[in-house]
Structure 1
């Protein structure tokens, strides 16, 4: 079987879209407070993960390949507050952040469609000796980042209300009711203490 560039692009796009969809699903049914709640010592929160990944896609799958989106990103501009892409201000509504993320998808997908995987881009925020990358490298990097942060979102959402799973139609978890999961967790706690 021969794999074409179109096949490879379709695979890359599918895995990227899976991560995008999983991340946005984690926001469903939550209040404005809950999507913004910092639930780790570093402030990880659901809406901030979405804002960050929109920024990542617009950078790596836009600007890096000479395809700026025109979407203002003041949180990464020179002089911006450190880590400002990882949380949404009170003035940045959920609709705004999710809308920007969907715009980033469209822009990134258009880049993937327009350019060959061998297209070369420049990452201005990387050290000079590593700045040149291919579109293929950039897409793999964005997928890895998106999947990593979708995993963070899984944990944050579970901490908020106990909701778990990869997708609404596929939890990717062992079957078990609440009592089974409590017993499982208690067993793991015992094992950890014994070790």
Structure 2
């Protein structure tokens, strides 16, 4: 019997089964939940139980970024690899971003959920960094007025090969580009919402 196994027998809090069950019941932000009520501080007590719990729950503390929760994104810098959900409710300054854009840091490329509200052009680099099959949910509201969808955004969405949920709101997009998006996403898409979309 290894030392780690002996330690687990002495301390049941270290059992993987216990950690797994606790992880299931601790609130985590999800694309189906109300992210306005998300409070990552619920994980802090879990971090303080012991080293094993700290290592288990630390990624959950930094897996979601919601604009407006902090004036400075620097606490995310060392933990950016854990980020999975990005919600931009307002325009963000470079200081508010969870990655150090002023020092040339690349946007995180491992997101599973990206929601952008009235902050279209500032987030195009983030969308481009997450092309491929990892991103599952994309919701993008351009503004209160219809905006022309940039070609770089069309190309980025077309390359999202694993997209399950797509919501587009308040965009002007030409018919061929919209058809390209729908054709590319259709094999995996389960939910589609097009609101205030003007074609030509």
TM-score (norm 2): 0.22
**Bigger relative contact order (CA 8 A; separation at least 6):** 1
Bigger strand fraction:
2
Bigger helix fraction:
1
TM-score (norm 1): 0.23
